[in-house]
Amino acid sequence: GWRYPEVVNFGRVGLEGLILSKSWIKSKLKESPDKFMGFDDIRFATISGLRRRGILPETIREIILSLGLSPADARISWVNIAAVNRKNADPIAKRVFVVCDPIKVRVSGVELPKEVEISYHPSKDLGKRRIILTKPELFVPHHDIEKVKPGTIVRLMELFNIEIKHIGEEVVEAAYHSTGLDEARKREAPIIQWTPCENSLKVEILKAEKLRLRKEYCVAEKSLVEMKSGEVIQMVRLGFGRIDRIKRGRVVVMYTHE
């Protein structure tokens, strides 16, 4: 006669801080379709949601294999996911300058135009891009300016050193100081990212904070528009992100992790 098959029960896998319940997700998408992006919303722990957020396939595979099969439930921390994904993304992610909460810096005494060629990666051959400064005006992060005072030497990454002269509410006045990185190090100058005011791109960064979706409006170097939707990038001093879409000179990036 028929023998009852052997049944093996395995525990469930959960992700800390992310929603994994498919029934809950379906009900919320039905109740409030305007508040969520779909099953691939970056606040959900679905495979499509993690992928849209910038978690690489090899990261998911590596984590699942490390868990193995167990009758006990397992919970994966976002810290662990980020650590594995950072290891996998670092060699392939192009570095780009993105400035959030930008403030304009006007630099006197600099010879223009100024052109710099910067590698997309410090150790891998991922190509280079050229950034041309045709006007003595650029954007830097406002929070970096809040940490300095007039007389401070600041290093603009891969560009030159400036001396802060006056800090206004909307514009910072500065003067060209020197070019060398050694000079900046000798003076223990803070090193910050920047982008030209002219031809800068508008960037919207979406960050998942549990059920909250926080938006940051930033500016970036124009080379970002030449990249592809779906590409994972590293925004210098901000963290990793995935380009979600590029439309009419505006880029939407899903923030992945630091």
The CATH number of residue 40's host domain is: 1.10.1160.10
Q: What is the DSSP letter of 6?
A: P
Residue 197 CA to residue 137 CA, distance in Å, equals: 6
Residue 257 CA to residue 85 CA, distance in Å, equals: 9
Cα atoms found within 13 Å of the Cα of residue 77, Cβ hemisphere only: 3
Say how far residue 146 (Cα) sits from the centre of its chain: 22
Residue 38 domain flag: yes
Q: What is the DSSP letter of 200?
A: P
Q: Domain boundary at 59, 89, 119, which?
A: 89
pLDDT of res. 9:
86
pLDDT of res. 84:
98
Do 103 and 222 lie in one domain? The reply is: yes
Residue 201 CA to residue 247 CA, distance in Å, equals: 11
Residue 5 domain flag: no
Do 219 and 187 lie in one domain? The reply is: yes
For the chain, 258 residues long, give each residue's pLDDT as a single digit of tens. Answer: 789 999 888 888 888 878 888 899 999 999 999 999 999 999 999 999 999 999 999 999 999 999 888 888 888 999 999 999 999 999 999 999 999 999 999 999 999 999 999 999 999 999 999 999 999 999 999 999 999 999 999 999 999 999 999 999 999 999 999 999 999 999 999 999 999 999 899 999 999 998 899 999 999 999 999 999 999 999 999 999 999 999 888 999 999 999
Do 78 and 140 lie in one domain? The reply is: no
Do 81 and 100 lie in one domain? The reply is: no
Q: Which domain holds residue 202?
A: 93-258
Do 166 and 251 lie in one domain? The reply is: yes
pTM over 0.85, yes/no: yes
Do 76 and 159 lie in one domain? The reply is: no
How deeply is 59 buried, as exposed, middle or buried, from its count of CB atoms within 10 A (0-12, 13-18, 19+)?
buried
pLDDT of res. 14:
82
In single-letter form, the type of residue at position 23 comes to: S
Do 242 and 120 lie in one domain? The reply is: yes
Do 217 and 203 lie in one domain? The reply is: yes
The CATH number of residue 219's host domain is: 2.40.240.10
- Angle at which helices 57-67 and 78-89 cross, to 10°: 130
Phi, psi of 209 (to 5 degrees): -125, 85
Do 225 and 119 lie in one domain? The reply is: yes
Residue 219 CA to residue 169 CA, distance in Å, equals: 18
pLDDT of res. 12:
83
Q: Domain boundary at 29, 60, 89, which?
A: 89
- 98-133 b/e (C-beta count within 10 Å ≥ 16 → b): bbbbbbebbbeebeeebeeebebbeeeeeeebebeb
Do 38 and 55 lie in one domain? The reply is: yes
Q: Domain boundary at 89, 117, 148, which?
A: 89
Residue 104 CA to residue 165 CA, distance in Å, equals: 13
- Give the distance between the most distant pair of CA atoms in the chain: 94
Residue 4 domain flag: no
